[in-house]
Amino acid sequence: MATGTAGTDARKYHTYQKHYLMADFVFASAAVTITLGTVPAGATVIDAGVVVSTAFNSGTSDKLDIGTDGDTNGMATLLELQTIGRIVADEMATSNDLGPYAADDVIQAVYTPAGTAATAGAGRVYVEYLVDDGS
């Protein structure tokens, strides 16, 4: 959904409500960067995490970072994906990467497996944010 500003693809709803970005991902043989989307200028992130629906099973570990394209672990660092359930971002209380953003900003996550290649794993990473209402 456009913000009404030419040249931007950041999401901003026309009513007061929480906004979100999310992306599904699955196991892979190498690290992968997942782009969730773009938050608009003035947005403030209020929650982030991952819901693991199928446990990842790399030989050593399966980790996920969440943040901006400028600091990909600014909201969460090394979240463990080898157990199903909701895993909340671990750096929200002290992060300096939550906004309000001076310009549109890309939100990303980085999945990093270690050890033998995974043969299973699925999750949905999410970021919840509020937008500037212009007042």
Tell me: the pLDDT tens digits for 83-92? 999 999 999 9
53 pLDDT band (50/70/90 cuts)? very high
Mention the CATH class of domain 19-130: mainly beta
Q: Which amino acid belongs to residue 111?
A: Y
pLDDT tens digits for 33-48?
999 999 999 999 999 9
Listed residue (51, 52, 46, 76) closest to 64, CA to CA: 76
Which tokens in the block code for residue 31?
A: 């690290």
Separation of alpha carbons 75 and 36, rounded Å: 13
Q: Residue ranges per domain, the chain? A: 19-130
